[in-house]
Every structure is written in C-alpha cells, then in structure tokens.
Amino acid sequence: MCGRYALAVTPEDLEQEFSLIRIEWFPPRYNIAPTQPIHVIRAEKGARALGLVRWGLVPSWAKNPADLPLFFNARSETAPEKPAFRGPFRHRRCLVPATGFYEWKREGGRKQPFLVRSPERRIIAFAGLWDEYADANGNLLDSATILTTAANEDLSSIHDRMPVVIEPADYDRWLGLVPAGKEELVAALVPARPGFFETVAVDTRVNSARDDDAGLQAPLAESPPQAPPKTRTPRAAAGAGEPAAPDDDRQMKLF
C-alpha cells in the first residue's frame, strides 16, 4: 500500500526528468496524504503535461462520492477489470512523480514508519490512473489513484504491497503517447527489481499529515528529528494520520 509519499524536488527537476516546459513553481513536499492535491504527468494534446489533481480517485460515474471508499490505491492485478478503474486504465493513465514513500511496520504494540527511497534514482514515477468527475452543478474534479503490486524483497519484511514503478523508457507507453495493448500495459505492472529501493526508519512525526518538513526523512538511528515550526500544507481529510489499513481493499472513507 502507499498511503503517504514525498516529492521533495524543484519544478526544474520535474521539467528535466519528464521533458516538461515551464511548469509553475511548487514547494518541496515531504508528507503527502490522501485527499491532498498532487502533481501527475498525463497526456494532453499528444504531449506530456503536468496536472494538479486530488489524491483519491472519484469515478466519473459516481452519484454520491461520499458513499464510495477513498480510492488512493488500486490493486494492479484487478484494476483493469474493476468498475472504478477499468475506464481510467484504458484511457486515463498517468505518472505520479515521487522521491520516496512511507510504510509502517508493526513492532510490538506500535507501528514504526519507514521512508522507502531509491538510492539510484532521485525521482521515481508511480503508475497512476486519473478520472474526471462532474457534480450536479457542473463543478469538475480531477482525481487520481496509485497502482500497487506485491512487495519485492526490499520491502517485504515491512509490508506486502508497494507502488508500481514505471521505468523512464516506458513513460510514453504508459501515458498512451506510444501505442500499447492491454497485455503490454499489464506486463509493466510488476514489482521493482531487487535493490531498487532502500528503507530507512524515521520518526513517528510522519504519522501526522500536519507535519511536512525535511526533518521527517532524517534516519532515526542518526538523529531523531525535532519538530520545527509548523509549515502550511494542503489540508488532509480527518483521520488521515496513517494509512487506514494494510489492505488496499479497505480504503478510507471520504469526509
């Protein structure tokens, strides 16, 4: 599962990684939570484009989104056929840029958070799906989910799921800018190769979505980070302190 992640880079970094042009400034973010706005790369007019969407997919056909789970993750094994995701899987795939994500491991009576990052790649791209929802008044909401798969050996001792990583050579194929059949797309939804990720124990401050600063990523064994002055971050839904459950099929409810 992926219930928190980080995107601690500059706009110029994203421009270089994804061949984007003149994107707007945004601050580094170290603790992105469901319901918050997130950046995605998607296909627009035959090219890659940066979009800002809500994390937690609302299907276009939803009558009352509050009655649905908050789909911040989707299982890659079943997404192509599930009603909430099969349309986006065919027509609205996206990349979710990140510099790492967080996972929790139960140790005794507590949960220890870990930062999961790649020692070889500063920016990684999660496989995502997005959709557009219009309410009764015609207000539009773009939202997205992150696809997950079985954890590889880098993460399996902490959690049994992990986000799907799309390799740079496959960016355009995943976005639909290069033709690809369903079988080819499904074949890309596999765990990252062994050694791609490393895990670092971090302070439990990351449990609170209100905390969003570089100190959250300091290795716990080196110097437990102290809480700095609060920074203003996009507001998360109530109860989003930790991922709601270790199973993607049990999603948080909208508030």
The residues assigned a catalytic role are 2, 103
Confirm if 146 and 2 have CB atoms less than 8 A apart: yes
The burial class, CB within 10 Å (0-12 / 13-18 / 19+), for 108 is: exposed
Token pair in block for residue 248: 């993607």
Contact between 143 and 135 under an 8 Å Cβ cutoff? The reply is no
Tokens coding 3 = 């219930």
The DSSP code sequence of 61-95 is T-S-GGGSB-BSEEETTTTTTSTTTHHHHHH-EEE
CB 118 within 8 A of CB 197: yes
What DSSP state is assigned to residue 165? B
Which regions of 76-186 does DSSP assign to beta strands (E)? Answer: 93-98, 100-107, 110-117, 124-134, 140-150, 161-163
Distance of CA 77 to the CA centre of its chain: 17
Q: In what order do the strands lie in the sheet with 198-201?
A: 29-32, 5-7, 100-107, 110-117, 198-201
